[in-house]
Amino acid sequence: MTTKNNLSNTSLTEAEVAHLAKETLGLYNTSSAKADMGQTTTFNELGFRGVIKKPDGWYLPCDVTCPALIVEVKSSKTNIEKYIDEILRNCEIAGDKYNRVIGIIWNGYDLIVFKNGERIDDIPNELQPKEYYFRLFDPNTIDKQAIYRATKAINDTLHFDLILNSLYHRMIFTACALVAIRYGATLTPNMGYKALRASISERLSIALEDDLRINHKLYSLIKIFESIEVGNPKNEKAIDIFVTQLNSISDHIKSDYWNGEDVMAIFFNEFNRYKGRTESGQVFTPDHITSLMYRILEVSDNDRVLDAACGSGAFLVKAMCNMIKSAGGVNSPKATQIKQEQLFGIELCEEVFALACANMLIHKDGKSNITRLDSRTQEAFEWIRSKEITKVLMNPPFEQKYGCLTIVENVLNAVACPLDDKAPKRNILCGFILPDDKLEKRKGQANRILRNHSLLKIIKLPEKLFPNGTKTSIYVFMSGVPHCSQQNKDILGYYIAEDGFETVKNQGRHDIYDKWQTIENEWIDVIVKQENDKHNSKRWIDPNTALRYIVPDNPFQIDATDFKKVVLEYVLYQSQIDATDFKKVVLEYVLYQSQIDATDFKIIIKDI
């Protein structure tokens, strides 16, 4: 579906659009490809014998195994939907020689793209360089199992061979090494511990040099890295394993199809196996839930996103990757702006703050906008207010000793407060993951929040989501709008009972059967688009009665089998017969005394 680009309303002629297309796509002749814009060259002249049609633009590599590009341009007042048949015919002509063909129709504002005749909708509406469209043919998957295997090897090596026992120190040491690679360090086997450490320190300083002038608190990352001591630095074989596996992970992160998976969460799930008794129970937001919340709150590449309890930076990394993808990719003009000006985080714990900084640095992103503050304070309030946030994605600490609801209330108040004191309250969508009973246990504070802000939705999450067993929901608020002012005061609720994940021994829960993306898409249709609720989970929640999604009890049912079972157990009890022994005798009789046929590896019991 095409939409108008709102950046300008200037009317463009077809010639002007053609000029812009040539510049943006980069359609210039080279020794390896024929490329140009114009309506004077026939396909016959471009090497397609006997075809006199004239494309508006083309990129035709000498190597026919490479992707080709065919372009149609129209004036900005033209409805380009009318020219779909024309671009498809021209792409079909190119397809006689090339197996991979991109077709583009553009009028300066509206854009339609085809990949081998299939319309592609999930791409930016702004025209991108041709390389962006050629990448549509690349495999679009990341081998996550390879990442987990590499992480396990690193964890074992650091813990057992290099003797680095602290969970956070293993995570920070590994993360800093990844940062070093991202900023140009060449880490190779046989380099030794001293050279490895020196290279990481040097690149960390380079990576943070400019940002330290803006945010001196980033020095925490360097300070903690320099404080880390390994117990057995002379184990050269272990260093070689560490470096080899580290480079493997780095290659995945650098891929165009890395979709903001939280590196620290992957590390935590693995490194947590050797956690010391004194280490705190930090819980990281599962990556698939960060993706779900991003979509539920309908975040766009124009938003300014806050996580005021950012932990490892999971929400910020996911938002960054999705926003950049929406804006046209890592090489788009807007990517730098998103990194530097649209992502904001707060974290209190110094070691976790260092992890968040490292996580953002690994993705070459806006670490200067992460700060160390207590999100319950007036200082944090003023910092948040100054950023003019437009969306909030958060998983605040659940324990009351950390001020869970105080953080929520302070954040809602801050994002609602305009810079101009005379301006009306700002209405900002805010999503928080909270324990199901949190608002009901703190009813006085919950009522105060609802006097100033509206609770729109409660989306109950799968009950196995967090390893500590906490049952949680996503609470979606609208800041600055008192809940009582709504025409319908009831809260919309849904229950996502299953996420398709399975528990893998020593690795936590994983989407080993690749079910989640389908499940997520289905729930976005239900929660955002209000359609296709095949689970029949939608409930209206009266805030005077409950502030959580209450799962209906399964109706009580009894059948003849249940009745017979109870009667038999009673008879056995009356006869003083042990039920366990009786079942064993009956089972053995059924298996070994009955007439049994074994065919096609199936055992069929015909009669007792």
What does each C-alpha distance from 333 to 126, 161, 254, 329 come to in angstroms? Answer: 11, 45, 19, 9
What letter does residue 400 receive in the DSSP assignment?
G
d(CA 124, CA 324): 10
**The one-letter amino acid at 358:** A
Residue 538 CA, distance from chain mean position? 25
| 278, pLDDT greater than 50 | no
d(CA 95, CA 85): 15
Residue 300 CA, distance from chain mean position? 14
Facing residues of 113 across strands?
104, 120
Are 355 and 312 in contact, with CB atoms under 8 Å apart? yes
Q: What's the pTM?
A: 0.69
Domains in the chain with CATH codes: 14-137 (3.90.1570), 560-607 (no CATH)
Are 498 and 477 in contact, with CB atoms under 8 Å apart? no
Buried b (16+ CB within 10 A) or exposed e, 83-94: beebbbebbebb
Tokens matching residue 567: 């009667």
Tokens matching residue 161: 């061979």
Position with higher pLDDT, 212 vs 319: 319
- DSSP state letters, 91-107: HHHHTTT-S-EEEEEE-
pLDDT per position as a tens digit, 471-510: 999 999 999 999 987 766 899 999 999 999 888 776 678 8
Torsion of CA 571, 575, 578, 582, to 10 degrees: -70
pLDDT per position as a tens digit, 431-457: 999 999 999 999 999 999 999 999 999
CA distance between the termini of the chain:
66
534 band by pLDDT with thresholds 50, 70 and 90? confident
Q: Which one, of 511, 370, 523, 376, lies nearest residue 460 by Cα? A: 523
Q: Which one, of 407, 414, 434, 433, lies nearest residue 480 by Cα? A: 414
Are 365 and 317 in contact, with CB atoms under 8 Å apart? yes
pLDDT of residue 137: 82
- DSSP state letters, 328-382: T-TTSHHHHHHHHHSEEEE--SHHHHHHHHHHHHHTT--GGGEE---TTSHHHHH
pLDDT of residue 139: 60
Torsion of CA 349, 352, 354, 359, to 10 degrees: -150
What is the share, in percent, of the chain residues with pLDDT greater than 90?
A: 53
Q: Who contacts 286 (Cβ-Cβ below 8 Å, separation ≥6)? A: 265, 465, 466, 509
